[in-house]
Amino acid sequence: MTLPAEFHDIAKRVNNWGRWGADDEIGTLNLITDEVVRGAAAEIRSGRRVPLALPLKEDGVQVGMIPGRINPLHTMVQINQELFGPGTVACSDDAVSMGLQAGTHWDALTHVSHSGRIYNGRPAGTITAHGRAEFSGIDKATPVVSRGVLLDVARAKGLDRLPGGHAVTPADLAEAEEFGRVTVRPGDIVLVRTGQIQVYLAGDRHGYGFPSPGLSVRTPEWFHARDVAAVANDTLTFEIFPPEIENLWLPVHALDLVEMGMHQGQNWNLEKLSTACAEEGRYAFLLSAMPEPFVGGTGTPVAPVAVL
């Protein structure tokens, strides 16, 4: 089995290998310039801060569908322990075991490979158990602070949430842009709201992941044309799942991460942000979404915040 010609055609059109030099490890994060950040600062008007991370807990969004990606097991190593003797100040300390992509997270560019390659044409074999990702590990990412734009696809269509089988198309994105009276600019981080996370928030952990609305294989070209820095949404799989084209699994991952070098975010809770943007009548803000710098990590938990 090989990837179909259709995939390779799109791949050619969105490919950024070499664009920022042969040594580049961060892809479209290069598009976040100081000027872009100054523009982001200009979007802060009310000062309202909206957090976008799901709580990290044992009954998180993972249900065993993806092998090895466990919800956080959060345990105590000290509880009110008077380490320096009776009557002294007492300490509590905790530990965690978890999949780095278990909850609200960023995919590193190395999260997927295809045809033996990762972003910028490097061999997939540079990812090992010993060294993890030698190139483009999540610790290489420059600070992810930029202008954020919410494309509220569900709200633009007057829906609470998109149905499970809905592939979000470029037309949907343009519609949401128009709805929000906002224009996506180079260096922006685009948040695409489907409303799917409501399924999880309502307690249906199994229904959340599958079937899921998500980005269509047509969207990478749209993001590429606009020189977007990164994209995140409120689903487990990011792209529509099961896929639009039979047997073509995770094509959006391969196009975004490998070809464009564009980081992807998943399981972002955009519900409160949707309300806040609707209330304030504006869909751009400063977004801070700093990866935890796991050396060689192929993903990372993230606690993003939109500052309106």
Structure token digits, residue 182: 């906002």
Size (the chain), residues = 308
Cβ neighbors of 236 (< 8 A, separation 6 or more) are: 61, 208, 209, 210, 212, 266, 267
Quick check: helix, strand or coil at residue 129?
A: coil
* Gap between the Cα atoms of 40 and 59, Å rounded: 35
Binds its own copies by CB under 8 A, chosen from 190, 253, 264, 273: 253
Span from 19-27, 138-146, 194-202, 217-225 in contact with its own copies (CB under 8 A): 138-146
Stretch 156-175: interaction string toward its own copies, x if CB under 8 A: --------------------
Quick check: helix, strand or coil at residue 133?
A: strand
CA distances (Å), origin 307, targets 97, 151, 183, 221, 251: 30, 16, 18, 28, 32
Span from 11-19, 20-28, 206-214, 295-303 in contact with its own copies (CB under 8 A): 295-303
Binds its own copies by CB under 8 A, chosen from 18, 55, 121, 165: 55
Backbone angles phi, psi at 239, to 5 degrees: -100, 165
Binds its own copies by CB under 8 A, chosen from 6, 18, 19, 64: 64
Size of the site for its own copies (CB under 8 A): 100
Binds its own copies by CB under 8 A, chosen from 37, 134, 207, 227: 37
Nearest distance from C-beta of residue 159 to its own copies, angstroms: 28
Does position 3 interact with its own copies (CB under 8 A)? The reply is yes
Binds its own copies by CB under 8 A, chosen from 72, 148, 213, 261: 72
Residues 83-112 binding its own copies (CB under 8 A) are: 83-101, 110-112
Binds its own copies by CB under 8 A, chosen from 6, 19, 76, 280: 76
* Gap between the Cα atoms of 141 and 133, Å rounded: 13
